[in-house]
Structure 1
Amino acid sequence: MQIARKHIFKKLSGGRVFALPDVHGELNLLNELLGKVNFDEENDKLITLGDTINRGPHSFETLDKLSKIKNSIHFLGNHEISLIRAFEKHWFSYDSPGIDTGKNEVWQNEVPIAKLKETIDRYIEKSAYCGTIQVNNTTFGISHGDATLEHWSPEILSGLGKEKLKAMICNRARYKNTNGNQYQGIIRGVDWTIHGHTINENITMFKNSIFLDVGAGSTTRAKKLAILDLNEFSKSKCIETSSTLVQE
């Protein structure tokens, strides 16, 4: 199988650049939202923030669709990592009755194994654990869960070990303040950091971090999906611009 990069650095220009948080298999919400912003696969670019699968009714179809979008970058969430690790264990064992992701999901065992492998490989080829994206004159640091470092540095991020990478994907401690050792100040080295993972009623800003997950994967309330056009981004209009794109 493909191996995802630890960090990816990209300068993006020409066309719009969208950041999309946790879809969680809600293909209908995804299609409706991309239609709402008139997403153009030839000219626009899509950055996904992880957790594209599980909980919703169309996990494979969502993963397959996103993996085929021409100009896309995918940052791995905890749900993709669980799938990849479980698939690798299954693929090399030959005696497993099915792929157990530990997420109480069965969809992956309803897809032909060769087709699932092809889609996972195609998705990983465009993936990284975290990244630095420059859009016009604004630099964004991106990871699924949290910004765990005081200084966002591509050199440092490219050399992170397993536990620190896991923290960037799984942590929710930054503005939740659930860990007394978690840095709570401005993240230096970038203008903004962008994350999914933590569900909020609306897009939430804390210091120079933006949390975009508004609940497509929620199991307790109405499902919503948000998208953020990074070309139109500015501190003064972030919430207003983003909120108009929330899928009710």
Structure 2
Amino acid sequence: MKVTILGARGSIPTEGPEMLEFGGGTSCVLVENEDSAIFLDAGTGIINSPDIGDKAISILMTHPHLDHVLGLPFFPYIFEKGRDIGFYAGKNGLLTTYEQLGTVFSNPLWPCRIEDYPSGITFHDAEFPLQIGEFTITGIPSVHPGGGIVYRLEDNGKSIIYATDYEYMEDKIGDLIEFAKDCDLLLFDAQYTDEEFEMRRGYGHSTVAQGLEVMKKSGTKNIRFVHHDPRHTDEFLRKMEAPVKSEYVAFARKDEVIIL
């Protein structure tokens, strides 16, 4: 299993020389095996997708907030005629996956409908367990305003958890710990410092210390912290990372590749 960090920034895209190391593209992670390419979210990071050849493409959306779908109109493979793309999301209220995407691909927000693109996109309301090629995918509800999904992908004895836009709550964290049990890689939302978290309870994000607690209690082997705050520069993020960095613990960086 190959994991590529395409976008690790949260809330809004950022740019500038002080944001180069960790990157400014919003949420998108590519998970591949020999036959399938699964994109977790479609933030602006998806625009810089690497060449995936003729692998089957799927996009799993955690939730339809703009920073997680903003890159989709510019996704390179959406312009390929005959390229099939499966799009999966949980129902958001009463909205189907198609209806959620339709709000982005419609006037006055965007001039093109999803049907106007050359590729063939199919829409699926995610029900678990979900089988995509050799990947077995399960999910649990996230803790975030408006809801969302935490995904677990398994293939060939390896597993990855994608827990972005997740707020630590004492009465709910046990569900995530159990869901992440013995996983090989946990991608965990650590947008805030401890001080910021106290000021922003209810915003739907967590901290490094909270992620490390999940890692320890779940028996997770590796963790990468994602959804970096748009105000946090490379220097700031390195300072956040320094006390905990190890072979197994780090902040996700743009274009980082992890082989499981």
What TM-score bracket applies, with the shorter chain setting the length?
A: 0.3 to 0.5
Higher strand share: 2
Query: Which structure has more RCO (C-alpha within 8 Å, separation ≥ 6)?
Result: 1
Higher helix share: 1
For normalisation by structure 2, the TM-score amounts to 0.39
For normalisation by structure 1, the TM-score amounts to 0.40
